[in-house]
Structure 1
Amino acid sequence: MGFTTKFYMADPHFGHEAALHWESTPRHFGSTEEMDKAIIDRVNERVAESDLLFILGDFAVSNDAEYVAHVFHALRGRKVLILGNHDVDNKGRVKPALVGLPWDVPPVHAMETKDGGQRLYMSHYAHRVWPAGHYGSFHFYGHSHGAIPNIGRSRDVGIDCADMDFGPRRFEQLIKGME
């Protein structure tokens, strides 16, 4: 296979009514259906079928397996899920609505990859230290919805962060201006 373009985002929260009303990062949509459609549209405007789409947690809050599968299949790209708090039950098991989906690799809690010749560590949660961080690797996370400031080579890639515009971004876009 030739070169693959990678995209990154966190916290789509598909089907999550409460996401429309968060004080810190309100999502100004009229309904969850409108929000979900806007996120799907922005993903599909940027991502091709052969691209890798890394989703850094909280894919869907809905327990409706049919709806979750619909949203999954509506998104372009080969999808990789880094598990977030809404992707697992209270015993840490991947939620049934997510288990049977054809992820590019099985969902995991953290993952390392390379992009643009650089090491990248991904987790749903922000880390103060991460593998090879002291050697210049980067760290992408979600969960905080922009509440934790980006520091050094670590940043929030939640779709509700201002520069994300409710869709994924490429590595070079995300690291622009970082130390």
Structure 2
Amino acid sequence: MIYFTSVLHFGHRGIIDMKKRPFRNVDEMNHCLLANFNAVVHRNDTVYILGDLCHHMTVDAANAIISRMNGRKYLLKGNHDKNYNPDLFCEIRDLMTLSYNGQEFTLMHYPMLSWPKIHQGGIHLHGHIHESAEYNLKNRAEGIRRYDVGVDANFFCPVSVKSISEFFGG
């Protein structure tokens, strides 16, 4: 299966208050995010991480957490990503497109106003803005095929390509 996630912010104590995440401290948040990730993404799955994986951590500490994450990982760099060990990822890029069952997806950390195949049903997946699930519902209601895959909008879990396709009626 293919999954997407973003803005986990492992190690970032401040994000708990800024985004009202339901955790007492950064250790609890890190533990929950890693457990949720590994409960959804299995060893042979593919996961696209659309940036801001870790923040306020040393590169060594970040690499230690990333090495414990299941799946074949692709990183779409975000504004807080450091020089992680590239061997932990299949690929590291700024922008990527992929096709799944005839559906075109454009992946980038930042939300875009326009993306490839926008007028042919293409879907843009992003992170960065730490929105709630209502953001995705509002986009769909307005006919905008843009989806925030960040943990704040998806119950602190990765979301599957199948779920996103079905969300937009595919």
Indicate whether the TM-score tops 0.5.
Answer: yes
Q: Distance in 2 between matches of 1:69 and 1:121?
A: 26
Q: 1:17 aligned to 2:13?
A: yes
Q: What is the aligned residue count?
A: 162
Q: 1:154 aligned to 2:146?
A: yes
Q: 1:7 aligned to 2:6?
A: no
Percentage of identical aligned residues:
28
Q: 1:39 aligned to 2:25?
A: no
1:102 corresponding residue in structure 2:
88
1:90 corresponding residue in structure 2:
none
1:69–1:101 CA contact under 8 A, matched in 2: no
Q: 1:132 aligned to 2:154?
A: no
Which range moved further: 38-47 or 167-176? 167-176
1:109–1:123 CA contact under 8 A, matched in 2: yes
Q: Distance in 2 between matches of 1:177 and 1:42?
A: 21
Q: Secondary structure at the match of 2:36?
A: helix
The alpha-carbon distance between structure 1 residues 36 and 116, as it changes in their structure 2 partners (threshold 3 A), is farther
Deviation per residue, 1:22-59 (Å, 9 max, x gap) = 1xx31111111110111111111111111111100101
Q: 1:121 aligned to 2:136?
A: no
Matches within 5 A, 1:29-108: 29-87=23-81, 95-96=82-83, 98-105=84-91, 107-108=92-93
Deviation per residue, 1:124-167 (Å, 9 max, x gap) = 11111101111111110111111793322111111011xx1111
Aligned Cα RMSD in Å?
1.7
Q: Distance in 1 between matches of 2:166 and 2:43?
A: 25
Q: Secondary structure at the match of 1:58?
A: coil
Q: Secondary structure at the match of 1:172?
A: helix
2:63–2:85 CA contact under 8 A, matched in 1: no
TM norm structure 2: 0.88
Q: 1:171 aligns with which of 143, 161, 166?
A: 161
TM norm structure 1: 0.84
Partner amino acid for 1:116? N
Partner amino acid for 2:129? S
2:67–2:88 CA contact under 8 A, matched in 1: no
Q: Distance in 1 between matches of 2:37 and 2:65?
A: 11
> Greater helix share, 1 or 2?
2
CA apart distance, 1:99: 4.0
1:39–1:166 CA contact under 8 A, matched in 2: yes
CA apart distance, 1:101: 4.1
1:21–1:27 CA contact under 8 A, matched in 2: yes
